[in-house]
Each structure stands twice: as C-alpha cells, then as structure tokens.
Structure 1
Amino acid sequence: MYSSDYPSDHGVQEIIDYDIHDAILHHLYKSSQIDTLFSVDSAITTGVCLRTQPGHFRLFPYDEPRLLHFEAATRALNPLVAIKVRTAAIHAALSTLNDNDIAIFINPSTRIQVLDTIAQLGRAEKEQCGAFIRDERVLIVWSDSLETIISIYQDFEAELIALVWNNKARLAPAVTSDSSGTLKEGASSVAPEEHIPHETRGIRPPKKTRTWGWSWKAASNPDRSQAQKDDPEKSGTVKRRKIRLFAPLYNGIGTGLAAFFIISGLSLLLQEFRLDGSYTRFALVVTFPFLFCVALFFCLQLVGNLALAFGPVAQYHENSQYYSAVKPESNLEVDRNLPHMSIQIPVYKEGLEAVIAPSVFSIKAAMQTYARQGGTSSIFVNDDGLQLLSAEDRAARIAFYSDHNIGWVARPKHEDKGGGFKRRGRFKKASNMNYALDLSLRMEKFIRVLVEERERSRGASPAIVLQQSTHLSDVPDSSAHLPHPDYSAISSTSAYPSMDICSDEDRDLEEKALEMAIEEVYEESGKRHRPWAANARSLRVGGLILICDSDTIVPEDCFRDAAREMAESPELAIIQHESDVMQVSFNFFENGIAHFTRRINRCISMGTANGEIAPFVGHNAFLRWSAIQDASFIDPYDNMRRFWSEANVSEDFDMALRLQLSGYIIRWATYSEGGFKEGVSLTVDDELNRWQKYAYGCNELIFLPLVEWWKKGIISKQLQIFIWSGAPVHYKLSMMAYMFSYYGIACSAVLTVLNYFLVGFEVEVDAFYLHSFEIFLACCAVFPGLGNLGFTLMQYRLGQRSFLSAAAENLTWVPFFFFFFGGLSVHLSVALLSHLFSYNIQWGATKKEVERSNFFIEVPKIINRFSTSIIFSLVTTAAMIIFSTDLVTYRWRIPGENWAAIFPTALVVGSHFLFPVILNPWLMIFSY
C-alpha cells in the first residue's frame, strides 16, 4: 500500500506494507468484482472505498485516479464501506430508464434510487444502502458494517438477475439477428410491469415542486376527517372499524359482583341490627367505598379469567376499533407518499456497545426496508447522559452518532445550586424529550427565516417560496398546533426534503439554523447553559414518530404498516405494539420477569380485542406528530409549551388522557408477532423500583399531597378530568381497578398484622369483618388458581401452545410469584406514603447491562436497600415470638396453635424476608 490513505500523483509508488485495511479492501474487491464489465478504453472503473478512521478513506485499486470522484462522493455520504460495481445486469436495468426516472423497482416491494451522477451520492437516501448512477451505468452499494456489505451486494445482484430473467419474454421480440448473425438490442425495458406497481419504467419525481419539506402534520386530525372523506381520491383510505362490546360486558359484570359483595356486607349489618338494635356497627358503612375499590380489581380478574377460559376468542384474530391483529392492506396512495419517520430514543448512561448499538442496528435495518419501500427516516437521540460521561466515552458516543447519521441533543447536567440547570421531573424522560423537541422546533423556526432570506436574495417572492415548500394552502396555520410565540412561524405541515432538491446548500442552511437555535437557548439561559446537538437534518421531526427505549429491537418491516394504518384512521394518535422480551442474562430472575411480561402483554392483547381502550406504555409505539401537538399544553411552571408532562411520574398515562380528550384514540397492535422486543429488569432491585414507581404514579393520579388538601382538596385535578371526561365508562372502571390494586397490595401487610392482634386477642368483631386467612384463600383461588387455568386455556384455544406445555410453564412460576407479590406490600406502602407526605423518594436508573456480582457484594446491598422491610419483618417476628411465650400474661398470649392469626402473618413476614434473598440469583455465587 501507499503511505497515504489517498492516491498519489506519482506514476510509480513505493510499496511500504499492508495492514488490516488493505486485507479487507483486497477481500471486498475480489468478492464483488467477479462479474464486472471491463473495457480497455473505458473511463469508468470500479473499486472499493473503506473508512479507516473518522474523515479518512482508502481506495482500492490504489493507483487509480478515475476513482477520485468515487472517493469524494463516498466521503460525503460517510458509510463505513462502499463498493462500485458494473455488471451486465446493472447495465441492462439502467438502459431502460427514462431521463427523469429517479428510482427503479428491483422487486415488488423494493425500489432503489437512481442518481444522475456520482457527485450526487452525498445527497442520496443513505438507508437504502444502494444507488444506481445513470451516466456511468454503475451500482454503488454501501454499509456501516463490514459483515453485511458483501451480502448486500449479492442480494442486489440476485434481484437484478431475477428482474432481467423475468423479462425475457418481453425482451425476446426486441432482439433480432442481421444477415451476419450479429445480435441487435431493441428498445425494451428490463423492469417488468408486475414488478412496478404504478410506473412501468421507474419512479418519476412529483410534479409539484418544493424547496423544503418535512411533515409536521402527517394526516388530517379528526376535525378535518370529513373533508378527506369527501375527496373521491382519498375516500378509500379512511376505514371505520367495529367497536367490540365484550369488555363493557365483562367489566359491567365484575363491577356488579363487587357491588354485590358490598351489599352482602350491608345485609349482615342489617341482620345484626335486628337482633341487638345497636346503631354503632353502622359506622362500618364508612368503609364501603374503600372496600369496593379494593374488591373491584379482584372481581374484574375473576370475570376476566372465566372469560379467557370459556368466552369467545375469535376477536383476537380480527381488527377492531382499539385493536389491530391484521396488518393494514396495501394502499397505493399512501405507498407513493410515505411520511418521514423519526425514531426518538431517550438515553442516559447506558453502555454504547452492549445496549445502544444493538438497538440502533436493529432500527437501521427497519430504516433500510422503509427506504427501499420509498420512505425516509432518521434517528433522533435525546441523550441525557452525554454531558455526564467521561471524555473517552463521550467521544465514542459522538463518533458512533456521526458514523450512523444520528441526530442528537444533550442538555446540561442537573445542578441543585442556585442558577444551575434543572432537569425537571422525578423521572427525567419527559423533560429530556421536551428539551430535545423544543430545540428541534426552534431550529425549524430559523430554517424558515433563512429560507426567506435566501429567496429574497435571489429575487423570489418569500410568500410563494414558503407556500411551495410547505403546502400552506392545504392546511391551517401552524398556530393552531404551536401557539407559543417563538414557534408561530413554523408551518404545521411539510415534507421530508426529496432527494432531487436536497443540495449541499440546504444542508448548510439546516446546520446554520441548528447553531442559531442553540445560541437562542444559550442566550435565554443568561449565557449559562448551552445545549449540545449535532446532525440537524436528523433532528427534524417527521409526520410519524417511533418512540423506543435504549434497549429495543424492532422488526425489519414495520414502518410502512404504521404509515398505512395511520392513513386509514385519521383519529388514530398512537399505535402501541405488543412487545416480546429481549433477554440478556437468562438467569432465573430474568426468566421469571420475562414470563410475567409476556403474560401481561398477552392479556392486554385479549383485553383490547374484547373492546378495552388500548394502553400507551411509552415505548415501541408509533405516534402521530400532529396529534402530539394537538394535545400539547402550556406548563404553568414557566409558561412554556410542553408535549410530555414533567410533573407526573406516569407521563404515558397523562399523554394518553390528553389525546383522548382531544378526540384521538390509541390502538394496540399484535401483527408484528413479537418482532418488537423490550428489555426487562435484570435484578430484583430494579423490578422493585419499577413497582414503586407505578404505585407512586397511581397515588399521584388519585390524591394530592397531604399538605395541599386544605386549599386544593383531596382528589387530583387529573383524576377529576378523567372521571368526567367522555371516555367509555368501562374504561374508567378498569383503569381505576388497576390503580386500586396497588393499594390492595400495599395495605395487606398492615392489615395482616392488625388481623393477628384482633384474632389472637379474640377481640369481638362484627360478622362483617373478613379474616385474613379467608382473604388469602380467595386470592389463591382467583389469581394463581383461576388465573393460571384461564391463561392456559386461552393459549390453548388461540393455538399458541399445547395445553400441557402451557400448564407446565405457568405452574412452574407459581412459587416465584408467590414470594414476589408476597414481599411487595411494605415497599409499595413506602412509595404511596412518600407521595402523600411529600417525601422526596429517589430511584436509581434502571440497569440495562448485566453486572456480575456475588454473595459478598449482594449482602451489604440487600441490607441497605431492603432495610425498611427487614425492620418490619424483625419487629413483627419478635412480637409473634413474645406473644406466644410466658413473657406476657395468659390473657394477652397468642399461642402457637392459633393458626388463623399466625399463619397469614407468618406468610407476610416470611415473604418480605425472602423477597431479596431467593429472588437474587447472585447470592448463589461465592466467588471473591
């Protein structure tokens, strides 16, 4: 090789030595150029270009000046490796295109871009990983992975050969022979009509010209859906779905059953009153509302499990208003105008190689599929950890983002001191996303200004230019969606810049707008807090947003389905996909939580298929950007517009509620068939944190902190809005039952201890009182008993598992969850009381990577983390021992044979003792 990464001007070169990059170049060239067309006098040559380090590329063949344009174009595109090939199949395919064709279908679902010259490669749609060059009749393929580049090229070649082969019948009449036997080519096309849905020779640019485009409004909102229905060209895209009524029926029966239990208690009070005439016992009526709330979840589960076992299940395989089991049908109008897809990923300090990179690679595979289907997409990372990392880790992240064309925003670190930057919210995810979206919107404002200035300097009318660029004639003014003064100039719709008009000048303008947005934020902070951001183009939000966690896997073909479904249902704001589990450690604890997660998701699927309102869980969901804007609000904290609530732990529920109040719906989808995967808790500590967060969030939604009761009342405004909203009654009942279930778990420990003394001291209690042992038997019958039976039969009836294998798996995990749920009570009580008494409870970030540990590390962590439950268990155990001995008088003694008092208490104490022990797989490792 030569001493430089670039070809030298000398005719004879000094060969120094080969390194690993040369070996790779030689291998790639040999593997990809076997079928290359050679011509002695040709000015066109083929080769390989490899990025050796950021900003440095190496060519092969080395001494080949004709590849300099290829190297410059590859540098602008910035893939890891690019290959330039010229074969007969490529030549044949390109020879049939018209001059204005910009793409060609190589199979029914894959179209590849066509560039006029190699100089345009830097403006190509990178995610397609390939582009035809018209003037040189070549194909350039590229990749960010050395492992995939050869397979990408081979796939292209195989598709092109199949394309030509399938057209042999159409080619035959166009090939004739003269008297000398020489073959002559006729003017025939290699692109078969059956391969091209709407154009026989290629895809032509849209007739409507535009200077800028990015979709801020993907589709009409519900208020404008009538206009779309009246349009004969679009009327076929809107489809109305049936509303299933099984969920209202089941929830109604369950609610009636809970009311029956309460009325039965009242009947007991009346019968006793007739016997002794005492009014005192009617004080127990005060407990009726609380008992009804706790019993509601129990009764809904009882009815729901019976429905799983014996109710109809055909609806699980059919689409309905809040549920999608079948992919949307092909839609030619939508497929021709696919919206830009922004993949928003909030991250913190997760590992780059172990967590973030695998997620990005999975997403980029889906982006490639979408690009070849005609769509565009970009990754928008909201990095809350970048300014907290070491210089080395920070540089690695920034380089990774640059190599993969990822736009990112990183806000300053949190500082409690006066004047320091404040990352609002108990969980920073909402404020992190708000900060990034705010910067993106500011950038769009400056893009608008810069476009106006540029066109004025060229003598064009800014009003005409902006109307062409954003199609303002088709939509209302943006102030309907972005009323904040700073954003008033942003249009409510635009489209992703098409490849044919995306110039280097445009990219420079975007980068300049980003710099201006950063400077504006910096100035508004009093020149104290400067955001970090890069790759302006990827920061521009598209018509649809896929929100993902940092540990996520997505299916390769999912973006177009989301676009089609959103087009079919203008009232649809969120498509929440059912997720499978992405496991990393495979120890028994992760296996148990994975089983539980799959089971919960499957039950949600059946519930939404029955007609239940779909939940929004905050990740693996497609969001309509226009709907998110419609549901935005002015935060009274600083009078700034927010999209995500920073004052709530459950920002997902808050978003879902605001969307439904704005007239939108949420839909649960299962047609990805487990293609979406999410990480689960790797340790019992993290899982406990998750349950405490849920409990805290539920209390936050229902009650105000105690200090605010005297001036604002007891019930939160958010719950009042929810109760009096137009949401279906059955949805309100099921949601309230879910939230009340945390109170049922939390109070179980305290009530069990109270039962120990009431039963043990033989205090005379009313017949209305239900003993702990009776409650324990009822819970065992409904949850592990009927619950496992119903879920097993549901799996069998849906054809997902055989009855025996499903039953075996479900029963295997009964002991695991016996101790898991038995040990939650005290911890959930802490979370509920923390909110009620305004205690600043804190939780650490969820671990996404396996951290090896052992017995000697875990024991101190258990003592520290579980000190509250350990103290509760020790005190209760000591009390049980003392009250069973001669240390107390006979009158107050609770002997060991009083199992009705001791057994439930022993279960609670034992579960809390064993919760951090038997659910911790690292305690079995005694290495040091």
Structure 2
Amino acid sequence: MRFLGRLSFRKPPPPVDPTSEKQPDAQEAAQPTQGEFTGENRTTVLDGGTDALDLMADSLFRSGCREGWFDTPSGEPNGVITGVCIRSKYGGTRSHPLNHPLFRPFEDAVFDLNARVALKIRSKAVEYAMKSHITVHHLALARKSQYAAFVRDEGVLCVWADRVEDIIDTGLVLQKALVNFLWSDEADQLNRGCHSPRPESKLPTGEPDDRLNPGPMVEIEDPEKRDILAARKLRPVALIAPVTTGCASALAVIILSFGLRALVIRWIYDGNPIRFILTLVLPPMYFIILFPALVFISVSVYAFGPIAQYHQNSASYSGIRPSRASPSHLMPITVQMPVYKESLEDVLIPTLESVQRATTVFERQGGVVNVIVCDDGLQVIGEEERARRLKYYKDHNLAFVARPPHGSNGFERRGRFKKAGNLNHCNALSLRVEDIMHQRRPTQTQDTSTGSDIWTELDESELYEEAFATAVNETDGATWANGNIRIGEIILLIDSDTRVPGDCFMDASLEMSASPEVAIIQHASGVMQVAHQFFENGMAFFTRNLQVAISYTVASGDVAPFVGHNAFLRWRALQECASPDDYDGVSRIWSESHVSEDFQISLKLQTLGWTLRWAAYSDGGFQEGVSLTCADELARWQKYAYGVSEIVFHPIRYWPTRGPLTKQFRAFLGSNMAPHAKCGIMGYIFSYYAISLACTGSIINYAFVGIWAMSDSFYSTSWNVLFVCLLLFMGLHNVVFCLLRYRLKLPMAGSLAVQQFKWIPFFALFFGGLSLSITQAFISHLFSLNMSWTTTAKTVVKSNFFLQVPRIWRRFWFQIVLSLVVLAGMIISTTAVTPPGYRVTQMDVIVPLAVTYGCHLIWPFALDTDITTFTARSFQP
C-alpha cells in the first residue's frame, strides 16, 4: 500500500514546466523595469527613501508592539530578533527592523515559504507553551496552510498570512487561543491538585471475574478482520430497505401476474397456445416495473414507516459525526480536483480557498493534507491564462499534474468523458514516484545500537524531490507537474465548483479509521447557485429533494450511491480496482471506456466486498453546482443513460462473440452482494429504459390501439401508464414527501411544501421531454455511434433571443422536426382526410401521444432562460 508519509516538514520540488523556455514566469513577467528587485531575497530601499512596503512594515511593527509581541533589538551576537517581514509581489522581502543581520534567516525562510506577510512573535504565552531543536532555518519547510509555527531554539511564534491586511487579526486570534489553551491546562492541574486521588481498585488474584468475561473468548488471527467485525457491531445493518425492496419486487411480480392470468383465461377459451409467446416480455418488463413499484412502496414508508434511523449511524449510513474524544491516528488526506478550462477567478479560486480553509483546520489539529489539481486544460489554454494559473498554484503551494493535449506527439486522450483519463494520469505519475522512492530508500532507517532514526524527514523530502524529477523526466517533457503529488491514505475527490466544510477532514479521518471495511464515504451535498434564474432554481430544488430521499433510503439499509464528487475514497481500495485496459494492457484505476466511471467503480468496489457509505451529518456544508441551462442538464441525463447502457450491454456488433451482457454486469449479478442491494441498483438502471419507452411506446400504442384497433387484456395501454405516472410521481409522491420533511423535523418544512407543488408543472415538462434524448443515448451505444460530451458550464454566459434560437435549432433540430411530424400526423389521422377505417377518435389513445411529443416540442423553448431576453447588450457568441 502506498501512502503519503506524515511529514512535519514538506519542501516542494522545483517546478517542471516545459514552457519555461518559451515564456517567462508569471512573477518575472510582472517585474518593473526599474531595479527594485536586485536578485536577492531582500528588497532594498532605493536612494534612502521610503515606499508603501516600508510604511506597511512600520505600521504592522507598531501594532505588534502594542500587543507586546516584539522585543527591542539587542546588540548581542546571539540575541533573538522579532519583527515583521513582507514579501512584495515582485519576489523581494521588506522587513522591520530593517537590515538587521540576525533577522536575515527569518527573511530567507519567509521567502522560501512563499508567504505574503509574516510575524515573528515572542511573548510570555509563547515562552510558556514551549519547554527540540527545531531552528528558524527549518521554517521554510513548514506546512504553509497552518499559518503558524513555533521555533523552539529562539522561543518565538512565527505567523504568516496570504494578505497583509489579515496578519494582525491572525496573530490576535492565535494569541487568544494560546492563552485559553494554557489557562485551561493550568486549571486542570489546579483541580487535580485540590482533590486526593482515588485509591486503585484491585481485582483479587486467582480466578478471573466472570463479569468481565460474559462470553467465551474468540481470538481472531487476522487483525483487519477483527477491526471490521468490531466496526460492524457498532454500526448494525438496517433492515427496513430489504423489507421495502422485497415488497416492491413482490408488487412487480403481482402486476405481471395479471397479464399472465389474462393469457391463461384466453387460452382456456380458444385453446391457442401461441399467445404464450408473449411471456417472453415478462422478464424485461419486471425490471421496467420495478422502479415504479419501489417508488410506490417508498412513499408508503415515507408516510407511515420509522424515521429514527435517519438520525442514527448504521453500516452504510452516517447521521452522527464520529466522536473526537481521542483521535489516535489521523490518516493523511489528498484532495484531487480535476479541472479543464474553467475560469480561474470565478470557479477555481473560490473552490481552492474553501479547501485551504479546511486544510488549515485539519493541519492545526495534527493532520496532513496536500492538494493536487489534475489540470487537463493547462497545456490547452492560452499563454496568459496559463501564467495566471501557474502563479496561483505556486503562491498557494498547490501541486498540479497536466497531461499533454490530444494528438500531441501521438498522445491520445481516450474516452468520451475525459475525467477518468485525467485522474488516471495523475495517479500513474504519483505511483511512479512512489516506486522510485521505494527503490532508492535505504533498507535500514534506524541505528541498531541506539534505536534512533538515521533516516529523517528531511532525507525523505530530498528523496521525493529526486524521485519526482526522475518520474517527470521519464515523460520527455510531455507531462507538466509540480508540488507534492504523493497520495495519502484517503482521497477527497471534488469538482471544480465545490465548497467543502471547514472540519470535514477530521471527520473523514476518524470515520475511515474506525471503519476499515468502508471504501467510499459519499457526503450529502447542498447546492451552490450562481445565476439564480428559474431553471437553476428548479434544478437546485430537485437536487435538495434528491439528497433527502437518498439519505432516508440509505439510512433504512439501502446501498449508498457514489456520485463522483464530494466523496472520500480509500486509496488502498481504489488500487484494488486497478485492472489492465483492453485497449493497451496498461493497468488503470478509473475506467476510460465508460462514461459513468463513478457508477462503474462503485459496482466494482461492492463486487470486491467493500462497503460504500452515505454521510448526512455535514448539513449542507458540502456544496455542488447544478446545471445552468437545460442543454447542460439534458447532456447530463444522456451521459447517465449512456453509462448504464455501457454497464449492462455490449454494443450489438459484439453480441455474437461476447454475448449481450458485459463481464462486469455478469460479475455483479453473481457477486455476494445483498439481494435487496442488487434489486435497488437494477431498479435505478432500468428506470432510464422506462423513461426512454415513452416515445416509442406511445407511437406503438397509437398504431395498435388507435389505427388497427388491436386490444388484448394482456396489454396495458399508454393511457393507463400515463394515469399511473401522473398519480404516482406528480401527485402521491409530492404529497408524501412534504409529510416526510415534517416527520424528519427538517427546517422550513412548511415553505418547502408550498414550493413542492409550485414546481410540479416545471418537472412535468422536464421529465416529459427526456425520453427521446435518452433513447438517442441508448441507440448510440448499442450501434457504436459517436457521441461525446463536454464539461458542464460553471459560469453564466449572457445571451438573448436572437442568439439563442439558432443555438436551440442546432442542438434540438431532430427533436423539433420529429415532434412536429408526429403531431401533424396525429392531427391528420383524426380528421376526415383519413379513411374511416384508419381514423383515430379515442381520447385515451390521442392524449398520451399528444402529451409526450408536445412536451418534446416545447421543451427546448420553454426551459431556456435566455429566449425571452430581447435587450441589446454585449453577449458572448
């Protein structure tokens, strides 16, 4: 198992950037023409004058003196000098006291640490807190995100910040926290001194007390298995979901049995056994009916079932935070964020600032976090944007890995969705670094005579720099990378438009340590809105409802989903999923041949025996963006449909040699997963097929029942299906979901109930117009047709009617034309133009077809947020 060592100090390697010969560094490009930066770390004052840096340094020094943080500079050669150091944006530093020789090591450390401003504080609280041999020269190797470090040999506290205006407040907060900590410790000592200790209770020697051993001792030789069994005792398996899934399966069988009953009755009357050929459709129809059956049983449980499990912990659900009483081991964590061409200022920086705040909290608690940006756009974007990204990564000690563009020197970015390949490239480079370090690390790291370490953390850091440079050089400059790309025991996988809560790393580390059988902890997410227009509002409302429904279902014992972001993943479990790719034989973790790589890896992990867990205790602290336009949301649903088709079926051209079902799906069916979990996953998979049947099913129903007047009690008409869907999904489910919010005591249950009914027309139109696009995704996969998707838009792009109508036509022309043709044919078939024998007049035949294709016709226009804008503004084409 490879993991990120718990290094107290970390020195990033020199940047490896092939563009260094073509373009200057972002900081060098911003240097002034006059000679303020002399090439040294310190910025000198020109002509004996002062500037803004001098004034700010003097002001900060005076503020610190008022707080009693700084000592008066002494003339002693070994004295301790305290003060202020500011790094200018041109790379130099300005200090107060100015040009003091004893202050030079601190200035050099601040320059290497890449901090914007730093204070060197010495106070009574600091002196009392430290009673090691770490010197100020080691400060450059400290973890920058902690924003503070003690230096024992001088008895000082060094504080730094990313913005000059924040440094005094940061120092005040740390000083107050330090005093409170020391006082609480002193109060505990005083309290212990005021009370005499209780005498120790000793058990009598001889036979052991049976009260301490209520049952026979069973020794488990495998420590990992022992830990798993102990964790399962603390987290029992909820059994509500198995019961509800069983009832839903029984309901689906009962519904199908009515059709079989009709066949038997007809056979008794006419004795024709040919009609029993229709029973061949019963197995696939079972899976189509399974999802509505699950919804019907679920709404019954919402209304009358138990709710205590929602606020408790179970095997696959966490409703309560892990206890922080005595964390014995904090697992090192790596944050992976795949990005492409998103805006640095509008998208990436807010997300990374959120991660850095959480990193600061965790590292001050003793943990280790490193951030890796898997930047697929760095070698594709323009020179100016690239320089800004590189500067930001460098200023904030963020590691990055950027793979070559598609077609560069024969390099191929495989897959219809590039996220899996992006992550695989980063993981492969990190694993290569670990291999080189393992080969070069000495076998003996301790002195056998004294037992002391002869392999220090600084040795490990230097070894990493060498291994990193070797691994990158092996790519012949194709891969750009910099920073600490070692992967910890836990990976937090996030999107570029994510917000994370400040204390999430501690909870994840404690929960993963206590549950060694868990591979993924998927957090329930809130919604981060950008545009606040009606489509984004509707998707936000749908996403929040979905999070509540998933939380209740998983708390009841169902299998937890993995949605691909805002999730903590165990690195060892991911490495078990690595398998050789059929394309080139290279072992990869994430499948580049699947569009839904998250769903694929979740099935693989569960097949291997790992547990997935859903965590709901963050209370919306994790946030994700939703689609800003209907076209982006439609592409997302198409991607999901294409992904489930990839999981289940081979393309038709492979059926003669490989069979219709994929190897992974056959392994899933034959695995030892719980039966109710398999049924739930199957219900989810085939819900997309049920949606896709709306278009084709309504046309077939119109022809059979309306034109040819074919009727059989075995066949259920589209009118019956439409009535059930409206009653179940638009009626009963909305009413009961409002009741569920009230029963769970969720906030704003009353106002949300009003919104629940307000959004019914929106969702009726939205889901009514999905069928054709999902059918297109299925056909594209089964017939090996080209279909690809880009990343979802993260920022608002303004538009108007005149720009939007051509876009809608280019994107939806086939859907619009087909809907018009079908609706026109339907209207003609009801008029006198059609011969009487083929004329359709039954409303129960006309309405389903009209509703289905009417929704498809108006869908692109009614859900577009910019088509009603006619103002002449500056738009991005």
Task: Please indicate, yes or no, whether the TM-score normalized by the shorter chain is above 0.5.
Answer: yes
- Counterpart Cα distance in 1 of 2:829 and 2:188: 96
Equivalent residues in 2 for 1:327-406 (5 A)?
327-330=321-324, 332=326, 335-406=327-398
* Residue 78 to residue 814, structure 1, CA distance change in 2 (3 Å): same
Instruction: Check conservation: 1:79, 1:142, Cα contact below 8 A.
Output: yes
1:525 alignment partner in structure 2: none
Q: Secondary structure at the match of 2:519?
A: strand
Q: Secondary structure at the match of 2:678?
A: helix
1:107 alignment partner in structure 2: none
- Indicate the RMSD between aligned Cα atoms, in angstroms: 2.9
Per-residue CA deviation, residues 486-524 of structure 1 (Å, 9 max, x unaligned), is: xxxxxxxxxxxx999433x654432221121122233xx
Letter in 1 for 2:282: F
* Residue 911 to residue 337, structure 1, CA distance change in 2 (3 Å): same
1:91 to 2:37 alignment = no
1:35 is aligned, of 67, 70, 87, to 67
2:13 alignment partner in structure 1: none
Letter in 1 for 2:375: D
1:513 to 2:505 alignment = no
Letter in 1 for 2:341: K
Q: Secondary structure at the match of 2:379?
A: helix
2:410 alignment partner in structure 1: 420
Instruction: Check conservation: 1:577, 1:669, Cα contact below 8 A.
Output: yes
1:545 alignment partner in structure 2: 491
2:137 alignment partner in structure 1: 119
1:730 to 2:676 alignment = yes
Q: Secondary structure at the match of 2:410?
A: coil
1:59 to 2:95 alignment = yes
Q: Secondary structure at the match of 1:644?
A: coil
1:14 to 2:47 alignment = yes
Which range is displaced more, 268-277 or 299-308? 268-277
2:443 alignment partner in structure 1: 463
Q: Secondary structure at the match of 1:668?
A: strand
Instruction: Check conservation: 1:699, 1:832, Cα contact below 8 A.
Output: yes
Instruction: Check conservation: 1:581, 1:597, Cα contact below 8 A.
Output: yes
- Counterpart Cα distance in 1 of 2:748 and 2:45: 72
1:459 alignment partner in structure 2: none
- Counterpart Cα distance in 2 of 1:236 and 1:467: 37
- In the TM superposition, residue 342 of structure 1 has moved relative to its aligned partner by 0.7
1:46 alignment partner in structure 2: 82
Instruction: Check conservation: 1:823, 1:912, Cα contact below 8 A.
Output: yes
- In the TM superposition, residue 856 of structure 1 has moved relative to its aligned partner by 1.6
2:198 alignment partner in structure 1: none
Taking structure 1 as the reference length, the TM-score comes to 0.82
Q: Secondary structure at the match of 1:160?
A: helix
1:446 alignment partner in structure 2: 436
Letter in 2 for 1:124: A
2:479 is aligned, of 528, 531, 536, to 531
Q: Secondary structure at the match of 1:627?
A: helix
2:215 alignment partner in structure 1: none
Letter in 2 for 1:41: S
2:426 is aligned, of 425, 430, 436, to 436
- In the TM superposition, residue 346 of structure 1 has moved relative to its aligned partner by 1.1
Which range is displaced more, 742-751 or 248-257? 742-751
1:720 alignment partner in structure 2: 666
Equivalent residues in 2 for 1:548-697 (5 A)?
548-697=494-643
Q: Secondary structure at the match of 1:910?
A: helix
Structure 2 stretches lacking a partner, 5+ long: 1-33, 195-218, 873-877
Equivalent residues in 2 for 1:134-153 (5 A)?
134-146=152-164, 148-153=166-171
Equivalent residues in 2 for 1:905-924 (5 A)?
905-924=849-868
Letter in 2 for 1:159: A
- In the TM superposition, residue 62 of structure 1 has moved relative to its aligned partner by 3.8
- In the TM superposition, residue 31 of structure 1 has moved relative to its aligned partner by 3.9
* Residue 40 to residue 659, structure 1, CA distance change in 2 (3 Å): closer
1:227 to 2:223 alignment = yes
- In the TM superposition, residue 690 of structure 1 has moved relative to its aligned partner by 0.4
Letter in 2 for 1:509: L
* Residue 30 to residue 927, structure 1, CA distance change in 2 (3 Å): farther
* Residue 569 to residue 278, structure 1, CA distance change in 2 (3 Å): same
- Counterpart Cα distance in 2 of 1:708 and 1:236: 46
Percent of paired sites with the same residue: 40
Q: Secondary structure at the match of 2:466?
A: helix
Letter in 1 for 2:370: S
Equivalent residues in 2 for 1:206-225 (5 A)?
none
* Residue 728 to residue 136, structure 1, CA distance change in 2 (3 Å): same
- In the TM superposition, residue 331 of structure 1 has moved relative to its aligned partner by 5.5
1:130 to 2:148 alignment = yes
- Counterpart Cα distance in 1 of 2:129 and 2:275: 89
Which range is displaced more, 154-163 or 670-679? 154-163
Equivalent residues in 2 for 1:485-496 (5 A)?
none
- In the TM superposition, residue 33 of structure 1 has moved relative to its aligned partner by 3.6
1:289 is aligned, of 266, 271, 283, to 283
* Residue 330 to residue 229, structure 1, CA distance change in 2 (3 Å): farther
- In the TM superposition, residue 275 of structure 1 has moved relative to its aligned partner by 2.8
- In the TM superposition, residue 829 of structure 1 has moved relative to its aligned partner by 0.6
* Residue 733 to residue 225, structure 1, CA distance change in 2 (3 Å): farther
* Residue 65 to residue 127, structure 1, CA distance change in 2 (3 Å): same
Per-residue CA deviation, residues 876-921 of structure 1 (Å, 9 max, x unaligned), is: 12212322333322332235xx322222222112211221112111
Instruction: Check conservation: 1:259, 1:292, Cα contact below 8 A.
Output: yes
1:833 alignment partner in structure 2: 779
2:302 alignment partner in structure 1: 308
Instruction: Check conservation: 1:605, 1:670, Cα contact below 8 A.
Output: yes
Letter in 2 for 1:358: P
1:77 to 2:113 alignment = yes
- In the TM superposition, residue 78 of structure 1 has moved relative to its aligned partner by 1.0
* Residue 167 to residue 904, structure 1, CA distance change in 2 (3 Å): closer
Instruction: Check conservation: 1:3, 1:16, Cα contact below 8 A.
Output: no
- Counterpart Cα distance in 1 of 2:860 and 2:437: 54
Per-residue CA deviation, residues 13-72 of structure 1 (Å, 9 max, x unaligned), is: 7344534x4555455444444213433636433332223226333324445444322210
1:792 is aligned, of 711, 714, 738, to 738
Taking structure 2 as the reference length, the TM-score comes to 0.87
1:160 to 2:178 alignment = yes
1:502 to 2:520 alignment = no
Letter in 2 for 1:437: N
1:901 to 2:835 alignment = no
Letter in 1 for 2:517: E
- In the TM superposition, residue 744 of structure 1 has moved relative to its aligned partner by 0.9
Instruction: Check conservation: 2:334, 2:488, Cα contact below 8 A.
Output: yes
- Counterpart Cα distance in 2 of 1:10 and 1:150: 22
- In the TM superposition, residue 730 of structure 1 has moved relative to its aligned partner by 0.6
Letter in 2 for 1:440: S
- In the TM superposition, residue 340 of structure 1 has moved relative to its aligned partner by 1.3
Structure 1 stretches lacking a partner, 5+ long: 101-114, 174-191, 195-222, 452-461, 472-497, 523-528
1:886 alignment partner in structure 2: 832
Instruction: Check conservation: 1:47, 1:84, Cα contact below 8 A.
Output: yes
- In the TM superposition, residue 289 of structure 1 has moved relative to its aligned partner by 1.8
* Residue 224 to residue 546, structure 1, CA distance change in 2 (3 Å): farther
Letter in 2 for 1:921: T
- Counterpart Cα distance in 2 of 1:509 and 1:167: 40
- In the TM superposition, residue 160 of structure 1 has moved relative to its aligned partner by 2.4
- In the TM superposition, residue 313 of structure 1 has moved relative to its aligned partner by 0.7
- Counterpart Cα distance in 1 of 2:225 and 2:790: 50
- Counterpart Cα distance in 2 of 1:53 and 1:424: 40
Which range is displaced more, 860-869 or 135-144? 135-144
Q: Secondary structure at the match of 1:539?
A: coil
Which range is displaced more, 10-19 or 886-895? 10-19
- Counterpart Cα distance in 2 of 1:499 and 1:814: 69
Letter in 1 for 2:469: E
Letter in 2 for 1:423: R
- Counterpart Cα distance in 2 of 1:602 and 1:225: 41
1:324 alignment partner in structure 2: 318
- In the TM superposition, residue 566 of structure 1 has moved relative to its aligned partner by 1.4
Q: Secondary structure at the match of 2:84?
A: strand
Which range is displaced more, 701-710 or 278-287? 278-287
